[in-house]
Structure 1
Amino acid sequence: MKKLHLLSIAAIVLCSNAMAQGYPGKPIHLIVPFAAGQGADAAARIVANKLSDNIKQPLVIDNRPGAGGIIGTEAVAKAPADGYTLLVGSNGTHAANPSLYPSLPYKALEDFAPISYIGSVAMVLVSTPTYESKTAQDVISAAKARPGTVNVALPSSTSRVVLELLSKRTGATFNPVLYKASGTAITDVLGGHVPLSIDTVIATAPQITSGKLRGIAVTSAKRSSSLPNVPTFLEAGIKEIDIAAWNAWFAPRGTPAPVVDRLNSELRKVLSDPDTLAKLRTLGYEPDGKLSPAQVNEFVRLEEKKWGDLIRSGGIKAE
């Protein structure tokens, strides 16, 4: 029996290796669980186009937005584990959703095979140019002086988690004003209806660069390459504010390791290409394709705990 068991394992290994050698032999289906035109989608298309050129196979992008990314993510979790259906996952799908929703149709840490980390996008606190509080410390002082009255437009669960982190680190209390999309939140800030907003660099950089919005501080440890003149919260003297939105690619659990390793290797090449890097940075992304699949798995595990702790402590629920 033991000999038969070993033979079975050897057969599986040989089969997996054979699959990897011929992979990919047809177009790859890349599911983006967000709407076309959003930051994750734009970055996915840049990476997918270069990867397609390199591997000589099309990557067919399928946008399946809805329910905070759950719809598209579930589709990949239930797809065949053959390397031909992949997911553009995020801090939302894999770190925040497990705590935002009472139940999910997938398990973020168990139902996927991590492939590669793609990059991060800093969040940024913005205001109208005429708003009296010009620095992060000014904003905190105003919120402490008038607890619960300083309105902040929040267009996503990520924005809500960032505001919770800021409150936790400073003791300031804000009044969150919830929106369903960045566009309407930015429009209300531009119109002076809400003085502040927290959103991604991707969504706000054009207005900040043009002077229509004031960039007060970014949430990353380092300044954003697309907003070099906007300081970090750390530089502003507010400690332990280091959080960002991110994207990583995943395959369904059970995808053969040689296939995952091949994809990881190819994405490393894509994310070291100067033209691809420049395009991603223009969007506001900070690309990084150096992590192995095992390192991506550990990263996601730590992120799920970090985001989950903030969501639970702030009593944040999915809208």
Structure 2
Amino acid sequence: MRRRNLTLAALAAGGTLAMLPGAAAWSAEGSYPDKPLRLIVGFAPGGGADALTRIIAEGLSKQLGQQVIVENRPGADGVLAAQATSSAKPDGYTLLMGTNTAMVAAPTLRPTPPYDPFKAFTPISSAGQFSMFLVVPASLPAKSVNELLAMVAAKPGAYNSASSNSASELAMLQLLGERKVVNARYKGDMQAMTDLLGGQIHMMFTTGTLAPGFVKEGRIRALATLLPQRSALLPDVPTGGELGLGKLTITPWAGFFGPPGLPQAITDKLSQELQNTLKRPDVHAQLVQQGFEGYGMSPVKFAEFFRAQYEAFGATVRQHNVKFE
């Protein structure tokens, strides 16, 4: 009887403790995670985004001591994956690998946005940026960005560009400004690259997965990268910042989000472990091979970066009256 009373008293005390400020957060952080996590990605297995998600998931699993299961939910420009995350229980066991497509393009370009990205998710950490290079065929005389822009300005409408996603298309619009170039939209970078190699396309922003090999073969020329620092894949290629192209604010990025209402203690723990994951030598080496520059951010810094990207994307869309089908 005495032990029963003590147990009841302890439970009562625990209930009181849970109502104290910070007590719930402390408890969640102390026991989390105690089961596998689900990491949702809005692209099909085998693609670039899926590959890097699985690399990071494996590293995060080692950091947390729990399995991180990658779940593919392709379709609707990543919206299906985003909605599945947004509606999940905010307990830290369902996360989203979000990219420009679902987090910026879909809510910006659709007449009826599928969600408010700043209310429907909790920013946790950046994952990093896809390596993107401005490339031209080797047959084009331009040896620099300035030479390319001068050529385009001298013959309005005589040149064309290619893109396979909204980030690359808007980055090209920012680069060109008022200069007139016809853009051809492709379903994938490889199809666009094939036409660039054949001379039918004059310029494009392409990924680090494709560009390095063709540059080293001398078949294309890389003039600039959208990364904030030079890429180890093509270290001789300058950044937009080095070239004074401060207007290139569109960057193809990826980051981690949770459902709305994710407890701060869990958000902070996940963010720190994701940052540690991206610093792991094994993870870093594999991401570099995928043409991905991995780096983490605190939740606050990532939220600031996310909003800046959203606003830059929207401003470019409005400025150029971009319409996507």
Q: TM-score, normalised by structure 2?
A: 0.87
- Quote the offset at 1:104 in angstroms: 2.4
* Change over 3 Å in CA distance of 1:239–1:82 after alignment to 2: closer
Q: Which of 117, 125, 140 does residue 131 from structure 1 map onto? A: 140
Partner of 1:91: 100
- Quote the offset at 1:85 in angstroms: 0.9
Helix, strand or coil for the counterpart of 1:271? helix
Code of the residue aligned with 1:104 in structure 2: it is P
- Quote the offset at 1:108 in angstroms: 0.7
Partner of 1:113: 122
- Quote the offset at 1:263 in angstroms: 0.8
1:22-41 CA-to-partner distances (Å, cap 9, x unmatched) read 22121111011123333332
C-alpha distance in 2 between matches for 1:242 and 1:284: 20
Partner of 1:195: 202
C-alpha distance in 2 between matches for 1:243 and 1:163: 9
Q: How many residues align?
A: 310
Partner of 1:303: 309
Q: Which of 255, 265, 271 does residue 258 from structure 1 map onto? A: 265
C-alpha distance in 2 between matches for 1:233 and 1:301: 21
C-alpha distance in 2 between matches for 1:122 and 1:306: 19
* Change over 3 Å in CA distance of 1:9–1:312 after alignment to 2: farther
For the 8 Å contact 2:134–2:225, the answer to whether it is kept is yes
Q: Which of 151, 155, 168 does residue 164 from structure 2 map onto? A: 155
1:135-168 CA-to-partner distances (Å, cap 9, x unmatched) read 2122211211111221111111111110111122
* Change over 3 Å in CA distance of 1:275–1:132 after alignment to 2: same
Determine what percentage of the aligned residue pairs are the same residue: 35
C-alpha distance in 2 between matches for 1:238 and 1:105: 33
- Quote the offset at 1:12 in angstroms: 8.1
C-alpha distance in 2 between matches for 1:36 and 1:186: 22
C-alpha distance in 1 between matches for 2:303 and 2:161: 34
1:243-271 CA-to-partner distances (Å, cap 9, x unmatched) read 42111101000122221111112112212
Q: Determine whether 1:33 maps to 2:39.
A: no
Q: Determine whether 1:276 maps to 2:283.
A: yes
Unmatched 5+ stretches in structure 2: 1-15
C-alpha distance in 2 between matches for 1:264 and 1:62: 20
- Quote the offset at 1:9 in angstroms: 7.8
Q: Determine whether 1:312 maps to 2:321.
A: no
Q: Which of 204, 211, 234 does residue 227 from structure 1 map onto? A: 234
* Change over 3 Å in CA distance of 1:151–1:279 after alignment to 2: same
Cα RMSD (Å) of the superposition?
Answer: 2.2
Partner of 1:245: 252
Partner of 1:215: 222
Larger CA deviation: 110-119 vs 96-105: 96-105
1:147-198 CA-to-partner distances (Å, cap 9, x unmatched) read 1221111111111110111122xx3221111112112111221233222222
C-alpha distance in 1 between matches for 2:276 and 2:229: 24
Helix, strand or coil for the counterpart of 2:96? strand
Helix, strand or coil for the counterpart of 1:202? coil
Q: Which of 60, 79, 82 does residue 73 from structure 1 map onto? A: 82
Unmatched 5+ stretches in structure 1: 1-6
- Quote the offset at 1:103 in angstroms: 1.9
Helix, strand or coil for the counterpart of 1:116? strand
Higher-Rg member (1/2): 2
* Change over 3 Å in CA distance of 1:212–1:298 after alignment to 2: same
Code of the residue aligned with 2:87 in structure 1: it is K
For the 8 Å contact 2:107–2:115, the answer to whether it is kept is no
Q: Which of 182, 193, 207 does residue 186 from structure 1 map onto? A: 193
C-alpha distance in 1 between matches for 2:280 and 2:50: 19
C-alpha distance in 2 between matches for 1:103 and 1:9: 41
